[in-house]
Structure 1
């Protein structure tokens, strides 16, 4: 199963519940281009994430850093880290995504010693997993096995998944990664989420830079530096992009029209909405609406 519409709350925390009926773990095969946005937008979740690229390549951004992950390689994304991904070079990127609750990685008796310190460490937002390293190859092999176990659901497959997950974590930490805990890094992450939270709560209203900065307890200039450093765009450009993202589902509703959608997501001019939408999506809102309606009819047939 693939998640095509990333539902997030007002702080960008993903709302999807990553679990099976029994286990607090989920495994997806994701084709980036099939997401409603054509990419994986910024979001975060409490679960740890393991990625294995099975086709093409993807450009991931985790907090402030970007990394290209190619076919056969993987990625570990730590709990609570903002991340996004795009298909690089139109490669048709497909990846296995394994999301797991930190509490399920190891037993409760081992959690405080071998899991929690790595979750709290501020110097490990992500780790690149290479098949050229023994520990990396072991992790990638276990991700493949877990993916197959989910597909086959043989008797006791839950136990086998738990065993593979234990091997993944052991290989991840046995390299002796030096852990760092920098309070300023934690504060920066909190402030960023506070500003995003405010935007996502108020995107349909008139928004000024002062409002965003105040939400993060920052000056206007420092607010701009945060956004440009982490999201690579200005706060107000992020607002525009978010409004367009919110417009996508509205435009797919049969009764919607472009003008109404423009005002619902916070634009005070239909022409400005069309201009920004075309720049982002490479088509007009009306063309997008027609394209989605046509695709929906094709799927129903």
Structure 2
């Protein structure tokens, strides 16, 4: 599976999901506070090691818990934490639930359950502290700010995983990968639900449900979005006029202009001029800075 398509699926998932944080805190563990048993939660857990050392036993693996280790433990997953005698382990954690259709995308996407952080250590700890503070408030905007902080934490997690560490993709991901590649390679053509469903040997009606369950939008909505994203990139190229861009994304120029304005709020020509002016202003600013040195 290509890295680009894997990240596309993840981004669409996290853009559309709802997040509910049930609890969050900072806890100092010692041998007296730990019980020699596995814990199983009905919610997902973020664990971040702020200080100390210990071990996490999960999925038949023994993972060292050291400063900067960031873990996501999915609901229903047995796990156990241990520390050495007379040692302590300071964890920042939160328990959360997320919904996205009826599919368990975390497991489908095979997200690694831990990452190592070093340079971003202080920033992650500060995000957890912000989360603790927000949960203690009862303001109108608290839930929005909590979700924003959680999305920041998730973004850092995703920025630090490698697709090469995940093993073989699931059958669902392989199918979606084929479809996304087909879409990108045939944007200039007439793409139908039937043509997409044929790529993975599914009935069109079932394919629509399957696709939306993973990407969060219908196949045609996604195709049009990719056309607009591609068009924006093409409009930045000096030698590609609006008519050529419309042709490259498989649309009549009138329909393309109308859809592009609905998507961006600007006509293709206006977008092109504004982008060119922005690039020129940035280049001028860099020249001024160089001249000052």
TM range (shorter): 0.3 to 0.5
Task: Calculate the TM-score normalised by the size of structure 2.
Answer: 0.46
Which structure has more relative contact order (CA 8 Å, sep 6+)? It is: 2
TM-score (norm 1): 0.45
